A = this chain, B = another copy of it.
Amino acid sequence: MIKYQQIAAEIEKYIEENALQQGDKLPVLEALMAHFNVSKSTITKALDLLEKKGAVFQVRGSGIFVRKQKRKGYMDLLSNQGFKKELKGVQITLKVIELEVKKPTKEAAHSLNIGLDDDVYYVKRVRYMNGQTLCLEESYYNKSVVTYLNKEIVSKSIFEYIQKGLGVKIGFSDVYLYAGKLKQEEAKHLCLDSEAPAFYVETIFHLTNGQPFDFSKVAYHYEQSQFFVQTNSYFSKS
């Protein structure tokens, strides 16, 4: 891991270990430069990363402060690469409903930038949170990128396998969100009535080189789904 990421990680650890709260002040830049023995830009880069992640905010002329969202039990929409980030003390389990190589739907083909005749891995799974149904997920993986999947892999974290097992490097993703009424088939898997509200999340995952490789559509149980995002103003420093 490179310097500025290392420093960012250490600052985060420092915040965690000292249980700092929103608004608590961190040491000034000069102190951080001295402590880590690096130049100003490196510290700045580390802090920019933390700011992007929503861990701190910087105020010119004043200082560097800890940022923490107020609510517990919400899933971070942006800590992607795998969908569920461990919430403390929450047990996530998986049931695989379907796994097969097939031709993509029109929507999937379009999202993945492939032809209707190209192969995809289709995976359908239900996720449980502490035994409760949490969501139903359908994913389409471009088979020319994700060359192999089996039932065992798919029972665990697909993304971990893709990255570590296949050496695929994940870049960015486009996320689409909306609410709607559950379809009968979905309702069955989520143990809800048809027509019940659902929180839908569709995501197109891309490699670092921009190629889309995974299109997934997730219907969340409306009573279990709470998300948060931390935003920064793009032009706040102007």
A interface with B by C-beta (< 8 Å): 1-2, 5, 22-23, 41, 49, 52-54, 57, 59, 62, 65, 67, 69-71, 74, 77-81, 110-111, 169-181, 196-199, 204, 208-210, 220, 222, 225-236, 238
30 CB-based A-B contacts, threshold 8 Å? A2-B238, A5-B235, A5-B238, A49-B234, A52-B234, A53-B234, A57-B172, A59-B208, A59-B209, A62-B209, A67-B172, A70-B111, A74-B176, A78-B229, A80-B231, A170-B233, A170-B236, A171-B233, A172-B232, A173-B230, A174-B228, A174-B230, A175-B230, A175-B231, A179-B225, A180-B197, A181-B222, A197-B222, A199-B199, A208-B236
Instruction: For A172, list chain B residues within 8 Å (CB).
Output: 54, 57, 67, 230-233, 236
Q: Do most interface residues of chain A lie in helix, strand or loop, or is the interface mixed?
A: mixed
Distance of A81 Cα from B53 Cα, bound (Å) = 19
Distance between A208 CB and nearest chain B CB, rounded to angstroms: 6
Contact B111 A171 (CB under 8 A): no
Name which residue of chain B comes closest to A41, CB basis: B41
CB neighbours of A222 from chain B (8 A) = 178-181, 197
Q: Min CB distance, A72 to chain B, in Å? A: 11
| Choice from B2, B110, B196 contacting A70 with Cβ under 8 Å | B110
Report how far A175 CA is from B54 CA in the complex, Å: 12
Top 6 closest pairs, chain A to chain B, by CB? A197-B197, A179-B199, A179-B179, A177-B227, A179-B222, A69-B174
A176, B71: Cβ atoms closer than 8 Å = yes
* Inter-chain pairs besides A62-B209, A197-B197, 18 sampled, C-beta below 8 Å: A5-B235, A54-B172, A57-B171, A57-B208, A67-B172, A70-B111, A71-B176, A74-B176, A78-B231, A81-B233, A171-B233, A177-B177, A177-B227, A177-B228, A178-B226, A179-B222, A181-B197, A229-B229
A196: shortest Cβ distance to chain B, in Å?
8
